[in-house]
Structure 1
Amino acid sequence: MKNKLTQLLCLILTVATLTACKKTVGLDPLPANKITEFKVVVSDGNIFGAIDETDKTITLYLPYYYELDVIEPVIKLSTGAKLSETLAPVEVLDTKKTYTVIAANQSTSTYTLIIKLNQVAPLVITELSTGTTTSNMSIGGADIALQGNFNVSDIKKIKAYLVDANNKEYEFLASPSFGAPGITVSMIGSSKIYTYGRLMAPQTLEPGTYKIRVKVQALTAEMKYPVNVVYGRPGINYGPVTVKQGETFKVVSSTTVFNDFREFYIMVNGQKTLLPIVSYTRTEAVIRVPDSVPPGAYTPTASFGTWPLSTLNWAVTVTAK
């Protein structure tokens, strides 16, 4: 009898336990304010961003060979959700881009976009100077070339600077004498070397010692050894002029600048005749023709400091008052 009672109690306990197990606990609904997919369409397919729900980040790895300046994301959201902004292209160097998702119930979630450019690193540039010899670079000097492992063919992705002692950057400019800057590629041994050429040092530089810094998208490199920026031999643009006796005209330089401008003269009947320099800046000089100069066409000569004389290949044509 005792055994039967024990069995009955066990049966009742088992039934009670099974009944209790059938009860369910309500789960929180999944958030409806999520980015579920982030991708960028490229020439040979898609690149997907890695979405981290813990940190609320989207990390996108872009291979350098696509040479993208901007991306145009394609984004999928939770059902019924929307972005707080209009989807637009994003610059690949943008470090502050965020996306806010608004769910149907008005709850929000904000993601930070992290773009990582898979560039060939480190960026290495060829030195112009050495530990014992410092290279000179003229203020306004043109046809400057820099070399390195830039791995880009698009000049918009590369920038080069002269950097002074206060870390102020002066960007190299396009050379008006040699055309727009360009990038060429050559093999030196087993290495592929990129040359960024046809550059000009700004005419506004002050003489002194400068570092050279190059930026290729997210990478930056500096030459170990600096260069000396100096006044070079001034140049005068091709500029034939016609001017009346007693009047003035201008000569200009779009490259190496005027410095220590001493004389501007012509030969009249075999005699050196000065045309007075009324005033001059680095890039422009005002010259006066004396009343006594006879009408005619003359080839002028300019004298700057201790540089060799510059005999110009154009004429100053003097006419009567």
Structure 2
Amino acid sequence: MKPNFLICALLALISFASCKKNMSLPEQPNSKILEFKVPVSDGMISGAIDETDKTITVYIPFFYQLDVIDPVIRLSEGAKLSEEILPVDVLNDKATYTVTGADKSTTTYKLIIKMQQMGPLVVSEVSTETTTASWGIGFYMLNIRGNFNTNDANKVRVFLVDANEKEAEMTHVTGYGNATVVPQMGTEGKIYTLGYIGVPQTLDPGRYKVRVKVQSLTTDLKYPVTLNYVLPQIDYESITAKQGDTFVIHTTGPVFHNFKTFSVPVNGVKVEFPIVSYTRTHATIRVPDTMTPGTYYPYLLFDGFPQITANWPLTIIAK
């Protein structure tokens, strides 16, 4: 009986093996990104490719001071990218890459850029609990101090935020030139001063929150600032105009508001020129037909402020 049992068991095993199908793994699509690298000053940073989540994560140390990455991408053999490989802003969180393989399969990867910065971002208050700083609309000699850890003024962005959380970025190019960052050692480490930033000329008077961003870091100051109209500033321009013609004056600083009179002194008497029109940033003035030719230094009067004597010449010539 025992030999017959063994023979039956052996036959059953052979029969099962003959009925068993050959199992093979499914073919993998060849629409893959195999390498994603970012050139930096001392070599390459490799991105981490996650084939499960279809993501590419790149960690960028802040000391490289990158504004964009210019990736080098290697694909599966015969595969193509749908997108052109272009530089990507380090704050861009929308970038994707779609790969089409030689087998016509497609795969889309999402790019995730992680900025490795020293935080938290700490910025000195410009107001206090009892005293609110007042800034002129269009004024451009303002400073902000903090632990920015960069000498690049373009990486430090300052915003004025209204009650509806609408951001207005303060200007970096003003009548005194480009904004600058100056570092200096303090009792608790290096402090950076961002100087020559300006209040946008388009904002209305009122209270605004101050928000500072240094690439991926953001902080809001605890105390707000108040924006007001201040004594306007007229850009230096040497102007020549004919009798009866119009000319334009400009401001790239504190804005025009309640512009009352434009005049020039003639033999101790003020001769008014009609103000044809004006906006916050420029005004159109007409020369009286009977104005005596000559060179003058005008007077300008804005309601609520003392008279301004221009430091630029206005030359009137005959028709």
Where on the TM-score scale, by shorter chain, does this alignment land: which range?
A: 0.7 to 0.9
Compared with structure 1, are the counterparts of its residues 30 and 62 closer, same or farther at alpha carbon in structure 2 (3 Å cutoff)? farther
Question: What 5-or-longer segments of structure 2 have no aligned partner?
Answer: none
Give the aligned partner of residue 212 of structure 1.
210
Q: Percent identity?
A: 49
Give the aligned partner of residue 127 of structure 1.
125
The answer on whether the counterparts of 2:82 and 2:100 sit within 8 Å (CA) in structure 1 is no
- Rounded Cα–Cα distance in structure 2 between residues aligned with 1:274 and 1:164: 39
Give the aligned partner of residue 275 of structure 1.
273
Alpha-carbon shift at residue 117 of structure 1 (Å) = 1.1
- Rounded Cα–Cα distance in structure 2 between residues aligned with 1:313 and 1:105: 74
Alignment of 1:70-85 (within 5 A): 70-78=68-76, 80-85=77-82
Alpha-carbon shift at residue 137 of structure 1 (Å) = 1.0
Q: How does the TM-score come out when normalised to structure 1?
A: 0.83
Partner residue of 1:242 out of 240, 243, 257:
240
The answer on whether the counterparts of 2:83 and 2:98 sit within 8 Å (CA) in structure 1 is no
- Rounded Cα–Cα distance in structure 2 between residues aligned with 1:29 and 1:260: 77
Alpha-carbon shift at residue 149 of structure 1 (Å) = 2.2
Give the aligned partner of residue 33 of structure 2.
35
Alpha-carbon shift at residue 281 of structure 1 (Å) = 2.3
Compared with structure 1, are the counterparts of its residues 247 and 50 closer, same or farther at alpha carbon in structure 2 (3 Å cutoff)? closer
Compared with structure 1, are the counterparts of its residues 315 and 156 closer, same or farther at alpha carbon in structure 2 (3 Å cutoff)? closer
Alignment of 1:1-321 (within 5 A): 26-28=23-25, 31-33=28-30, 34-78=32-76, 80-85=77-82, 88-89=85-86, 90-321=88-319
Q: Deviations over 1:73-124 (max 9, x none)?
A: 333444x451342561333222233333444433343332221111222222
Q: Deviations over 1:241-263 (max 9, x none)?
A: 33344444332222111122223
Alpha-carbon shift at residue 141 of structure 1 (Å) = 0.6
Q: CA RMSD in A?
A: 3.1
The answer on whether the counterparts of 2:211 and 2:218 sit within 8 Å (CA) in structure 1 is yes
Alpha-carbon shift at residue 210 of structure 1 (Å) = 1.2
SS at match of 2:168: strand
Q: How does the TM-score come out when normalised to structure 2?
A: 0.84
Question: What 5-or-longer segments of structure 1 have no aligned partner?
Answer: none
- Rounded Cα–Cα distance in structure 2 between residues aligned with 1:318 and 1:111: 67
Please say which structure displays the higher CA radius of gyration: 1
